[in-house]
Structure 1
Amino acid sequence: MTNFDPSTILTDELLARFRQRAARHDAENTFPTDDLADLKAAGYLAILAPAELGGGGLGLAEASALQQRLAAAAPATALAVNMHLVWTGVAKVCADRGVTGMEFISKGAVDGEVFAFGISEAGNDLVLFGSDTQAVPAEDGSYRFTGTKIFTSLAPVWTQLGLHGLDTTSPDAPKLVYAFVPRTEDVITRDDWDTVGMRGTQSRTTELHAAKAPAAAVVRRVDPGPNPDPIVFGIFSVFELLLASVYTGMAQRALELAVATVERRQSKKTGMAYSQDPDIRWRIAEMALAYDAIGPQLAALCADVDALADHGPRWFSLLAGMKHRAVTAAKRIVDDAMLVAGGSSYFSSNELSRLYRDVLAGQFHPSDPESVHATVATAWLGPLQT
């Protein structure tokens, strides 16, 4: 990421438009269609596609920096587009490691396709290691998927849904099948997204009724359970690191707003700005210390993925830990920003109020705190004895 300047792609002018729209989409519970159009025009959806295909040719480290910048202006827009970038990132991670068959994802991103992430299922704590969705094969190599996916960001606009399902009928079954289905009448998007925060993502529930993935869009068949397959590493690494990027960007914005507020507010007791109050200064310093610790870790892990570094069995604990630290630090920073900003931050029209609600979503994304601690404990102590 040497000398990369995110402002060359996400300009200050563009971000100002995103920030202005964010409050409206939050209040109206609507998808930021104009933001997506602007991002498409800027080539943002193809930043991870190879330059030879017409993409941006960027690595995960550059994408992380861009997502932090976008999230500081419009968290819901950043989180929504994150899910598209996950699939283009998976295509890159796999291609970098010699795994073919996902080039159509990169080409699609260049051509304007919008990819959504259809992995989450209600009550399925296996996540990548299992699925309640049925994947039924056909003789031509295609699959039909039947099941329900939750938290499908980009619900109103996606053109291709990347998903997984369980094949229980093939001779080598069971197999988890990763594939992409287009938006057809076999896919029903519920209008059920009415949440505390991240409202602009419109991460609605998706019903699959024998939705067909063409043979060319069936990218991987793997054994259920923990699996070293490149697609598992690709999804896990890009998903966790870009999620961490979004919440790190939110933390940065909360810190900026807190600093601006305490410099503007004046104490009746002392006649001085609150920025001169020792207790306020200590709290701002705590926020800055937490924020400053996250960025270098995130940049280093993204660079390691780009460089094909080998952390062996430590990879999953490093990635899950990164997401966990970014989310928990961001929530703590936003909490403190609300305190130092005072009662005005409690009004829904205040940007900090929206950040306060948006940052809560971080705890619901995989890996959740229980899973993170189990993964890290196993990395250091070995598996539980049975």
Structure 2
Amino acid sequence: MTTESMVAEAAELGAKFAEHSSQFEQDDAFVFDNYKILKDQKIFSGQVPVEFGGRGLSHREMCAFLRRLAKDCPSTALAVAMHQHLVSAARKNHESGNPGQALLEKVAAGELVLVSTGANDWLESNGEATRVDGGYKVNAIKPFGSGSPCGDLAITSCAIDCPEDGPSVLHFPLSLKSEGVEFLDDWKAMGMRATGSQTLRFKDVFVPEEAVGLKRPRGPFHGAFSIIVTVAMPLIMSVYTGVAEAAAEIARERAKKRAGDPVTPFLVGEMENALTTAQLAVDSMVDLCDDLTFAPSEQLASQILARKTICANHVILACEKALEASGGGGFMRGAGIERLLRDAHAGQFHPLPEKRQHQFTGRVAMGLEPVAG
């Protein structure tokens, strides 16, 4: 496949999704129908290598696919991006000689949907894991489970107080059909309303010892996050860049009707500068990831996170300028910009929010640990 063919595929699917996208959004309803179509197209196993049963798409191709899909249904694109970054991380681990193949094969065999809880957990995680015979009993509340209404496996973590190692975090996959998993159906948000990013509650859920893939100290930055950040942010911010591109397309057409207004070209020019900045930032992230051939490091994670902030801020600015350039008519919901602007604001909350990114990047630049002890 090529990026061009993936963009064409996304445009074809997006044309179908666009018909009902606004209704899903108005109803706070998850995009079940879109997920069925994407499963038929083997999008969820898209990045899984062909030898494991997937389509073998590259990270760059998936970024291009999500960016184009976001123009027609941002919620679908974002929910899929949250799944795809977990697949990317598993593929990167596998290609680096670490465990990852088993998860990739599971995804391909059943076109499984993976659900991430990592954004809210970050380095501290939450909840309480208690040792029991053969494993752990986990109690935790995990917000922002994007795609969970159709989810199969949560890729999650939980804090544990280890007498021998001190405060620690366990990382493990967890079937969302496990006894004790509850879906709180509480996703009533400003934007990205159809992502199904509800809170998950784990009540006395059993996690076998062999399911734990990583145990690390709670709090300090861990090398695993150098991989996660680098693969995740290009995929996620590709979605938001697509949102800004959609808003700009609407604004250009509306601005043409106001060509006689001497101020309008300035507003469109401001919008174009903001959009270009977002595009440059996301393109640079994709290049730094280099189709998963990158060497993980704190310095690279810092570079990715800085670009994430630049992209997120300029996506919002581009959408705001698209609204302004459209005139009063753009304020009406029927114009489409209002929704895109609300969706754009969600970008700032993905790791790391701006001030935390500034701190992270500043500490790395100073030769310090990325986070304070």
Normalization by structure 2: what TM-score? 0.91
Aligned to 2:351: 366
Q: 1:258 to 1:221 in 2, by over 3 A?
A: same
Aligned to 1:168: 161
How far apart, in 2, do the equivalents of 1:212 and 1:181 lie? 9
Aligned to 1:250: 243
1:290 to 274, 278, 287: 274
CA contact under 8 A between 1:29 and 1:199: conserved in structure 2?
yes
How far apart, in 1, do the equivalents of 2:159 and 2:86 lie? 20
Structure 2 counterpart SS, 1:195: coil
How far apart, in 1, do the equivalents of 2:232 and 2:292 lie? 17
Aligned to 2:283: 299
How far apart, in 2, do the equivalents of 1:238 and 1:276 lie? 45
Identity value in percent = 25
Aligned to 1:198: 192
Q: How far did residue 298 of structure 1 move? A: 2.5
Structure 2 counterpart SS, 1:45: coil
Report matched runs for 1:1-386 at 5 Å: 4-10=4-10, 12-100=11-99, 102-110=100-108, 111-121=110-120, 127-140=121-134, 142-169=135-162, 171-183=164-176, 184-229=178-223, 231-263=224-256, 265=257, 274-275=258-259, 277-305=261-289, 306=291, 308-310=293-295, 312-383=297-368
Aligned to 1:270: none
Describe the superposition over 1:69-112 as per-residue Cα deviations: whole angstroms up to 9, x where unpaired. Answer: 11111111111112111211110121222212x32321222122
CA contact under 8 A between 2:145 and 2:199: conserved in structure 1?
yes
CA contact under 8 A between 1:115 and 1:162: conserved in structure 2?
yes
Q: What's the RMSD between the two structures over aligned residues? A: 2.3
How far apart, in 2, do the equivalents of 1:161 and 1:313 lie? 26
How far apart, in 2, do the equivalents of 1:208 and 1:244 lie? 29
CA contact under 8 A between 1:9 and 1:42: conserved in structure 2?
no
Q: Residue type of the partner of 2:113?
A: V
Q: 1:313 to 1:364 in 2, by over 3 A?
A: closer
Describe the superposition over 1:127-185 as per-residue Cα deviations: whole angstroms up to 9, x where unpaired. Answer: 42212211234453x43321111111113221111111122236434331111111233
Structure 2 counterpart SS, 1:201: coil
Structure 2 counterpart SS, 1:193: coil
CA contact under 8 A between 2:171 and 2:214: conserved in structure 1?
yes
Q: Residue type of the partner of 1:176?
A: V
CA contact under 8 A between 1:250 and 1:355: conserved in structure 2?
yes
Aligned to 1:269: none
Q: How far did residue 2 of structure 1 move? A: 6.7
Any gaps of 5 or more consecutive residues in structure 1? Answer: 122-126, 266-273
Q: Residue type of the partner of 1:361?
A: A
Q: Residue type of the partner of 2:329?
A: S
Q: Residue type of the partner of 2:316?
A: K
Which stretch shows the higher mean deviation, 301-310 or 53-62?
301-310
Q: 1:164 to 1:311 in 2, by over 3 A?
A: closer
Q: Residue type of the partner of 2:319?
A: V
How far apart, in 2, do the equivalents of 1:151 and 1:339 lie? 31
Describe the superposition over 1:316-355 as per-residue Cα deviations: whole angstroms up to 9, x where unpaired. Answer: 2211112111111110011011111122222233311111
Q: How many residues align?
A: 368
Structure 2 counterpart SS, 1:174: strand
Aligned to 1:268: none
Q: Residue type of the partner of 2:264?
A: I
CA contact under 8 A between 1:136 and 1:169: conserved in structure 2?
no
How far apart, in 1, do the equivalents of 2:292 and 2:150 lie? 33
Q: How far did residue 232 of structure 1 move? A: 1.9
Structure 1 counterpart SS, 2:70: helix
CA contact under 8 A between 1:119 and 1:163: conserved in structure 2?
yes
How far apart, in 2, do the equivalents of 1:312 and 1:370 lie? 21
How far apart, in 1, do the equivalents of 2:302 and 2:75 lie? 27
Q: Residue type of the partner of 2:48?
A: A
Any gaps of 5 or more consecutive residues in structure 2? Answer: none
CA contact under 8 A between 2:278 and 2:315: conserved in structure 1?
no
Structure 1 counterpart SS, 2:219: coil
CA contact under 8 A between 1:244 and 1:322: conserved in structure 2?
no
How far apart, in 1, do the equivalents of 2:128 and 2:275 lie? 42
How far apart, in 2, do the equivalents of 1:139 and 1:59 lie? 42
Structure 1 counterpart SS, 2:63: helix
